[in-house]
């Protein structure tokens, strides 16, 4: 399972929020970004519950204003499809 999360956070708190996100086991990548969102997170898990847990942990971090979660779809020819073969 794979999901991407885009986050908005309180101005000036990006570094401490990224530090907290790095502690979550399901997180495989986290970066500060510029544009409409402040932080990009990639999470992975063996079962859907892993993704749910990771998203819930991220959303509970103080200073996060809102989040947008996108779950990857298998079977449409993307690079994640190659992992299942």
Would the pTM of this model clear 0.75, i.e. be above it?
yes
Residue 82 lies in a domain: no
Residue 30 lies in a domain: yes
SS (H, E, C) 18-54: HHHHCCCCCEEEEEECCCCCCEEEEEECCCHHHHHHH
Residue 78 lies in a domain: no
Residue 80 lies in a domain: no
Q: How many domains does the chain have?
A: 1
Q: Pairing state of beta strands 64-71 and 39-44?
A: unpaired
Predicted local confidence at residue 84, as pLDDT: 60
Query: Average per-residue pLDDT in the chain?
Result: 92
| CATH code for position 58 | 3.30.70.920
Residue 8 lies in a domain: yes
Residue 48 lies in a domain: yes
> Which domain covers residue 14, as residue numbers?
2-73
Q: Tokens for 66?
A: 């809102």
Kindly give the parts of the chain with pLDDT less than 50: none
């Amino acid at each position: 399972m794979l999901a991407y999360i885009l986050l908005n956070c309180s101005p000036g708190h990006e570094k401490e929020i990224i530090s907290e996100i790095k502690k979550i086991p399901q997180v495989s990548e986290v970066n500060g970004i510029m544009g409409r969102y402040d932080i990009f997170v990639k999470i992975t898990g063996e079962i859907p519950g892993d993704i749910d847990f990771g998203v819930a942990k991220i959303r509970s971090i103080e200073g996060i204003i809102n989040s947008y979660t996108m779950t990857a779809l298998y079977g449409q020819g993307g690079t994640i499809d190659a992992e299942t073969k």
